[in-house]
Structure 1
Amino acid sequence: MTSRLKNWTAMASAISDVCPQITLAPPVSCCFYASMSRIYFMALIALGLTLLASSDLPAQENKGDTEEQEQQNSEQILTVPTPLQVEIVVEDGEAEARQASEQRADGNLVAQQGMNEATQRMADLALWQTVLIAIGTTALLYTLWLTRQANRAAQAAVDVTRSIGEAQTRAYLSFDTVKPVYINPKGDVITSILFRPHIINTGQTPAHIRVTRSAVSIEPVRPTEIEIEANSTPHGTIRVGAQRTIFLQGGTLPWDAVKEAIEKGYYIILICGVEFEDVFYRSSEARRTEDFAVRIVFNKHLTDAEKPVDDQPSIEWHDMQLEVTMTSPTTAAENS
C-alpha cells in the first residue's frame, strides 16, 4: 500500500507539471485504494495520460509553424537576386561641359537673385522718390502761392506809393480871387460890370486846361442848389504852371441890376469851372474837373455910373457850398 501511494503521488506531480489546470487529489485513506477495482484505477491513469498528451499538442503545433515560417523566410532570402555593380564611365570633355553648365546655372541663379534684390531696392527707391517729389511739388506750389501774394502786396504798395506821389506832385487848381471890370463903351458912362474869376495852380506840376465855363447870377435868397447857363469855352490847351494864375472869361451883369441887388441885399453869385489834365493823365481816364461858387459882396453902394472906374467900390468874395448844375446855351435851348 505504501508503495502504491508513492507511485500515485509521483504520477500526480508529473501530471501537475505538464498541465497545471489538472489537480489530482491525494487519496484520503488507504482503504480507498483497497476498495477500488483494478479497472477503475487503470481508467484514471488513461485519463491522465490523455490530458497530458492533449496539453503538449498546441506547443508542438506552434513550434512546427515557427520552424516552417523560418524556412520560408530563408528560402525568400535565398531567392533574391544578387545586385550587380555598375560603373558609369564619363568622358573628360563631357564632364567638364556638365560642370561648366552647372556652374553657369549656379551663376545665373545667383545673378537672378541679385537682380531680384536690386529690382526690389529700385522699387523702394522709386516709391521714396515719388513721395519726395510729391512733397517737393507741394512745397513749390506753396512757394509760388507765397510769391504771388508777395507780388500782390508789392504791387499794392507800388500803387499806394504812386498814388501818394501823384497826390503830392500833381496840379491843383483853386479859386484865387474875382475882380470886377467896369465896362464903359463910350468912356463916360458904365453900362455893365464883368466879374472875372482868377484860378491858381497850387500844385507842383503844370495843368493843361481843356474847357472853361463861367456864369453870374442874382438870387434874392441864399440858394442850396443852382442850375445856371454857363459859357463853356473849349480850348486847345491853356497851360498853367505851378504857382501860376490865370483868369477866366467870367460873367457880365448890367449896372442897374447890380445896383438894385446891392440895395436890396440880394446874392450876387459867380460860378466857374475848368476841365484839365495833369502830367499823370491817361487817355483811359476822365479829365479832372473843378467847379467853384462864390458870393460877391461890394464894400459900398454904387452911386454914379459916370464916375471914373478908379472911384468905383471894391468887392470881396466868400465861398458858397452849393450844388451847382451848369448847362451850355445849346443844352438850355434843347430843354426849353
Structure 2
Amino acid sequence: MDNPQYPNNDPAWERKVLEKLAFAALDEQKARRRWSIIFKSLGFAYLMVVLIAVVDWGSGAEHQERHTALINLQGVIEAKGEANAENMVSALNAAFEEKNVAGVILRINSPGGSPVQAGIINDEMHRLRAKHPDKPLYVVVEDMCASGGYYVAAAADKIFVNKASIVGSIGVLMDGFGFTGTMDKAGIERRLLTAGENKGFLDPFSPQMPQHKAHAQLLLDDIHKQFIDVVKTGRGKRLKETPDMFSGLMWTGAQSVQLGLADEFGSVDSVARDVIKAEKVLDYSVKDNIAERFAKRLGASTMNEFWKGASANLQTIRLF
C-alpha cells in the first residue's frame, strides 16, 4: 500500500527520507553537545568551589605582616583523624619556620587518644622550642584538654585555660569485653588455635588468664610512667604534686592553675594580644581534603583486614 506522504510515483521520496533521517541525527547530536557542555560547566563549577575552599588566596599577603600563628588540635588524637601527628607536626613546622610569626598558639579541645601520636607531637614541640627559642609556644585550652591532649600540652611554654575548662586525666586505659558467659549460655564453643603460648593474649572469647592480665597491667604502668615523666619534665617546678594528681582524675581550669597543671586564664585572642603582642592571628592548621581522608580510611581498612584473625584480640591502649 502506498504511503500517502511518499507515494510510489514520487521520484524524490528516497531523498526526502534520507534528509529527514539526517536532520534527526543532527538534532540528536546537538542535544548531546548541549548536555555535554552543561555537565562540563557543572564539573568546572564544582572544582572551582573546592579550590576556593581549599586554597587560602589571601594568605600570601597576610603572612608578610607580623602575626600570631594558630594551630588547632580538635577531637580525638588518632592516626586516621585530623588531629594526627603528621598534620600537627607539619603545621608546627610551618608556623615556626615563618619569619613573621611572633609566637605560636596551639588551641586544644581534645579528650585524648593515642599515646604514640601524642608523644610524637610532644617531642616535636620540644624540638622546635629548642630550635627557635625566640618564638614562644603557648597552649590555649577550650572545653577540654584531657589525657592525650594534656600529654601534648605539657610541652608548651605556658598553658592558658578557661576557669571552666576540664584539664588532666593523667592516666592510661585498655578496655574490652568478655563474652565467655554469653557463649556458655548460647552453647557456643570457642575454637582458638595459636602458634605461641601467649598469642591469644586478652582474647575476648576466652577466659581471662591471670598472667595475661598481669602483663597488660605492666604495659599500662609503663606507659603511665612515661606520661608522668612527660608532665613533670614539661611543667617542672610549677607542678604542685598531690597524691591523686596522676590518678586519672580531672580538674576545672581554675583548679588546674592552683595545681600548676596550667599557668593562667586566657583565650586565643587575649594571648595573641596581651602576651605575644601580635593581635593578628592566622590559622596554620593542616586539614585533610576529601581525597586524603578517603585514602587514609581506605588504608586503615586494608590494614585492619590484613591483621584480622592474626591479632584480632589486640586491645587498644589509649590516653582517655
TM-score tier after normalising by the smaller chain length: under 0.3
| Bigger Cα Rg | 1
TM-score (norm 1): 0.23
TM-score (norm 2): 0.24
User: Using CA pairs below 8 Å that are at least 6 residues apart, which structure has the higher relative contact order?
Assistant: 2
